[in-house]
Amino acid sequence: FNAWVFLSGLETLAIRMKAHCDNALALAQWLEAQPSVSKVYYPGLESHPQHGLAKRQQSHFGGIVSFELSGGKDAAWRLLDSTRLLSITANLGDVKTTITHPASTTHGRLSPEARTAAGINDGLIRISVGLENIQDIEGDLSLGL
Question: Hey, what domains does the chain have and what are their CATH numbers?
Answer: 2-142 (3.90.1150.10)
Assess whether pLDDT exceeds 90 at residue 124.
Answer: yes
Helix axes 13-32, 134-142, angle to 10 degrees: 40
Looking at residues 6-26, what average pLDDT do you find? 91
Looking at residues 18-41, what average pLDDT do you find? 97
- Quote the DSSP letter at residue 90: S
What tens digit of pLDDT does each residue of 88-107 get? 987 777 889 999 999 888 88
Record the pTM: 0.90
* Phi/psi at 80 (5° precision): -60, -45
pLDDT confidence of residue 107 = 81
Close Cβ partners of 119 (under 8 Å, ≥ 6 residues apart): none
Q: List the beta bridge partners of residue 41.
A: 66
pLDDT confidence of residue 62 = 94
Looking at residues 58-76, what average pLDDT do you find? 95
Looking at residues 121-141, what average pLDDT do you find? 96
